[in-house]
A and B are shown apart, each in its own frame.
Chain A
Amino acid sequence: MDYLLDGLVRAFVLLFSLDPETYSAIRTTVVVSSLSIAGSMILGAPLGFLLGHSTFPGKRGVRMVVDTLLSFPTVVIGLLVYAMLSRRGPFGELELLFTLPGIALGQVMLGLPIVVAMTATAVENMDRRLRLTLETLGASPRQVLATTLWEARYHLALAAVAAYGRIVSEVGISMMVGGNIKWHTRTITTAIALETGKGQFAMGIALGLVLLFIAFGVNLSVSGLRRLAEYDR
């Protein structure tokens, strides 16, 4: 029971004493999850739009594949990405194993299905008159894409938050692809796994709380942005 209280106290001590190891893990987590969420959104939003907007044979099959990928276990993604990036693997030349971009690559695979599925659903559920209006006004395909995504921006923000939540909390990919290297690829979650493995439960709980603070900060800023956007209109 002492673990919990001890962990809470340690979390504050770590944060306010500017503990370099903790801040290294926090920085790594922020950098890598930002890269990952950016990659997921840049790729996922247009793909989700395509999936929701257009009709083509086999669309339901694609939807099902995307929905299945939502439950892709992170250790399997980690294993696949490790096999790809290993010097013995097809992309070994890129030397991405044990690097932050390598982890981000795996995390994009984790975030992408979430963004695609949620964007597609948002686009599908949009007012059909928007599309008709755009087409009557002679909008180019790119303008249709941009306008539709803009109209779906709150849903996109929701998709981003959901994907970010999964990316920032995953441990399998960071551990297998990143290797949990101190000062370099040690994220908050792999540090928690390590501290727990070392039997330092309080430290693990402390880092977990730090992660929750970050998640809280992200959600706070998203809801702030949203309020600001509504105020702007």
Chain B
Amino acid sequence: MKKRLLLILALVLVSALSLPVLAQAQTPVLMMATTTSTDNTGLLDVLAPVFQQETGIELRWTAVGTGKALAMGRNCDVDVLLVHAPAAEKQFVDEGYGVDRTEIMYNDFVIIGPESDPAGVRGRTVVESMKTIAEKKIDFVSRGDNSGTHKKELSLWKAAGMAVPDKAPWYVQTGQGMISTINVAAERNGYTMTDRGTYIKYEATNNGDAPLKIIVEGDKALFNQYSVLCVNPEKCAKVKYDLATRFREWMASAPTQQRIAEFRLLGKQLFTPNAR
């Protein structure tokens, strides 16, 4: 008899736990695919509750690289995208999958490396630096995952007039997120490229004393634009275009832009709003 009692008890426990999960269909839910930098820095954790409070829409997001986020849009699995790879976004729009591309904010990419700067590229332009790192065969760690940062890096090799050093022993492709990739670069005493927001987060995680420092910055070629795109309702009938539009407008609105500007770690601003 005791056994049966225990079994019933277990069943009751499990169903009690699952009830709140099943009974939450009322609030409208907007599904977004975004890049790791907006999630890992904590920006969305700040914005999402305000968005829900002001519009009654619950924002849910999955943080993947920009390449995968665009693929999820193509598959109609998400309603809206927050990504940072302008060339790929344009293609996405041209193919008819995305509409209403709206620029929201920017920061910049930086090349980070060991304090000692073994390639001696501190203060040079990004193209020169990449050439020098390649010539001196110092480790360069790449995301290698088709993310926005990876796409940018590939375009920089091209701008340097070089083939991507795919198989070179000093060129390390992690296929992982940004901070994991930075950690690999730190372990190998090499260079890598990251967006400034993620770098500040990395500094904050290391209590302000990160093993890798910013070596190259301020080059125009390192500009990093983030945009919101709605998934085209004509391609994906089930997509919540109305909710996506409200999110897009909310992101570009003055109060939200102000919040983005005020989002700081270690007293440093991570993203600069630039919606028009």
Please list the residues of chain A having a beta carbon within 8 angstroms of any beta carbon in chain B. Answer: 27-28, 30-31, 34-35, 86-89, 92, 95, 97-98, 100, 179-182, 184, 194, 196-200, 225, 228-229, 232
Contacts and interface: CB of A to CB of B under 8 A. Distances in A.
Contacts of A88: 74-77
Most-contacted residue by chain B among A97, A197, A229 (CB, 10 A) = A197
A86 B31 CA distance: 13
B2 A197 contact: no
B53 interface: no
Interface string B57-70: 00011110000000
A232 B1 CA distance: 8
B91 interface: no
A88 B60 CA distance: 20
A129 B34 CA distance: 61
Interface residues of B, number: 31
24 contacts: A34-B17, A87-B75, A88-B74, A95-B238, A97-B77, A98-B60, A98-B62, A100-B21, A180-B62, A180-B63, A181-B60, A181-B61, A181-B62, A182-B45, A184-B60, A194-B63, A197-B179, A198-B40, A198-B179, A198-B201, A200-B205, A225-B6, A228-B6, A229-B3
A87 B236 contact: yes
A228 B238 contact: no
B273 interface: no
A135 B210 CA distance: 73
B187 to A, nearest CB: 12
A30 B14 CA distance: 8
A189 to B, nearest CB: 15
Given A30-B14, A31-B18, A198-B205, A87 B77 contact: yes
Contact of A86 (B6, B75, B201, B205): B75
Given A27-B17, A34-B14, A179 B62 contact: yes
Contact of A87 (B40, B202, B238): B238
Top 6 A-B pairs ranked by shortest CB distance? A179-B62, A87-B76, A197-B177, A199-B179, A88-B75, A86-B75
Most-contacted residue by chain B among A89, A179, A180, A229 (CB, 10 A) = A179
Contacts of A92: 76
Contacts of B182: 199
Contacts of A87: 75-77, 236, 238
B36 interface: yes
A229 B205 CA distance: 51
